[in-house]
């Protein structure tokens, strides 16, 4: 099992139509093959300037690799992620 987690801050103002459109586009990733337990969350800790987080799980490395190279994911990264995200931290966890 791989848990893919990313926290991020958008270039858009909080609660703006642009931020809402970005989050709606990100939500479509939940339907890609192999994605489990997908969630988008708002970050509330004052310790981090990132405003949101996305988590998802994959049963196998092959599922994760399929997601990473899926055309819809690649398009999301190029169309939304790269131009709209100001900062991010990405982590991938496996059970000990």
pTM of structure: 0.91
How far apart are the C-alpha atoms of 32 and 9, rounded to whole Å?
A: 23
Over residues 35-82, the pLDDT tens digits come to 999 999 999 998 999 999 999 999 999 999 999 999 999 999 999 999
Domain ranges of the chain: 2-93
Query: What are the start-end ranges of the E strands in 1-96?
Result: 2-10, 36-42, 52-58, 85-93
What residues does 58 pair with on adjacent strands? 2
**CA neighbor of 4 nearest in space, from 41, 37, 33:** 37
Over residues 15-25, the pLDDT tens digits come to 899 999 999 99
CATH fold for the domain made of 2-93: Alpha-Beta Plaits (3.30.70)
Return the biggest CA–CA distance within the chain.
Answer: 41
Quick one: average pLDDT of 23-38? 97
User: Nearest 5°: phi and psi at 54?
Assistant: -125, 135
């Amino acid at each position: 099992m791989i848990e893919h987690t990313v926290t991020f801050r958008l270039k858009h103002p909080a609660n703006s139509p642009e931020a809402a459109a970005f989050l709606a586009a990100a939500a479509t990733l939940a339907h890609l093959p192999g994605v489990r337990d997908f969630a988008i969350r708002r970050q509330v800790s004052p310790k981090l300037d990132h405003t949101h987080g996305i988590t998802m799980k994959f049963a196998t490395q092959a599922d994760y690799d399929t997601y990473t190279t899926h055309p819809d994911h690649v398009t999301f990264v190029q169309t939304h992620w790269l131009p709209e995200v100001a900062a991010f931290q990405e982590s991938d966890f496996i059970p000990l």
